[in-house]
Chains A and B, each alone.
Chain A
């Protein structure tokens, strides 16, 4: 046994040196890069049928079994009266309630700019749907335009599986 280990305590222990380093932006004050990433195990829970509907080319909404209020973006319980809702199929044609064209955005979507966001009104529904408008050049989107739903052939399990184009 080496002399320095005779009582089981290593008084010459050395931390392993590695060649990976830290990105330093500034020395005074000391500013470094700190990386953070996480994968979630995310369930769509009670809203799962809505996303499965998009995979089948169907746009679903929620209708209150008690008061009849129709929610375009789904919810399992009615915001008006608190009763349960049931799934209903929404029309695939609607009207632009309002719009914007985004030239910036969150980091994830910067590469897609400029893109149009619209809120769509549907006949027989009480609330709106936030979605993307495609196929309309910048400067030509108008409130009141008729639009129709299209669905991605290869689902991304995302609300962008449905998007709208001019009707």
Chain B
């Protein structure tokens, strides 16, 4: 495998509905934004693309990605679609990495989109619920907020996690987004606001849950050779670790065995914990383990500067702190409570505002995380956020992006490092 760099990124402002622009137009907007950032790169230098969108139901169009490929003027170059639920965007970023690392392409575009406004929220819940077992889970009345509610209820039972700790994630992420002009729902709210908002699936309220969105994002990756030959940017970001993990489609089928350990943990840390059960994401732990191994990371809390993770629910942000080894299993609640994941904490998590505040146009989400992480590592947050550099972390060297599907069925972790 050879070194791979991200050289540009772009996105649309995520919105509840974008009836003026279809998915092709939205991707074109995100793509042009990225292209404008690398003026030496021309369309003919792009060897091909990889595409991500989650649901054919939302799009009401099969093979929608080829319509984007032709709209962008990339035909007859190679392209293919990635699909893996909520992790679709993260999987797609890794597909672009593979295209370059393998030597198949020198410059590769990863684009993603989702247009969820085309049905009402209840139908949308149903479409997303069809990404759970349609013989055994969906017909019982299963839907994703219900599944996550059951998972966190068990997390609370095992570890004493509280609804106030969960609410603090919502307060933090919506608050960060006040300085992110690309976000859909920036909000200045309190723990009380979160608890008083409508109950969706006990204990998750409306403000514990991300919203549905229309949006697109694009990332351009290239080889070291292309970077130097075409002088594409003097602020490249290197992809130094990729990992992926999976778990059973049905939550009910998760085993109760031994914890998958990270390098800085020992078996004695978890003598009595039955793992993953329904309280933890074994796939997330596996994705992190593989990404850390490739990146040579021994202790993530010491060796990463920030994390953009898949907070579709406040509860899943807390659960993911643990899967990523930012703290031990069971300590996720106190990790947020003690302020460690705030913008000024020892590990800023979701400085962008995350899915909770940015929105979650599924196929674009994982790429959006890559774009904001890329800007962080470049030190260009201010430039890309209308001059507001409030969210710019001081001199970050390494960041992790985390994309997550289903009840933890597909999960990707990718480590990005400043390459200049």
Contact = CB atoms under 8 A, between A and B. Distances in A.
Interface in B18-58: 19-20
Nearest to B148: A100
A56 B150 CA distance: 29
A130 B139 CA distance: 10
Contact of A160 (B139, B151, B278): B139
A110 B122 contact: yes
Contact of A159 (B20, B123, B140): B140
Interface residues of A, number: 42
A13 interface: no
Given A127-B252, A143-B153, A143-B154, A105 B19 contact: no
Contacts of A102: 141, 143, 145-146, 149, 200-202
Interface string B136-169: 1111111101100111011001000000000000
B248 interface: yes
Contact of A117 (B19, B120, B141): B141
Given A102-B201, A106-B122, A117-B146, A130 B140 contact: yes
A100 B157 contact: no
Given A106-B129, A107-B122, A119-B251, A34 B60 contact: yes
Nearest to A108: B126
For the residues of A in contact with B, the DSSP-based class is mixed
B154 A100 contact: no
A23 B136 CA distance: 36
B135 interface: yes
For the residues of B in contact with A, the DSSP-based class is mixed
A143 B255 CA distance: 18
Nearest to A117: B146
A128 B248 CA distance: 12
Given A98-B278, A107-B126, A143-B157, A117 B136 contact: no
B125 interface: yes
B70 interface: no
Contact of B136 (A73, A110, A132): A73
B253 interface: yes
A119 B252 contact: yes
Interface of B: 19-20, 60, 120, 122-123, 125-126, 129, 135-143, 145-146, 149-151, 153-154, 157, 198-204, 248, 250-256, 278
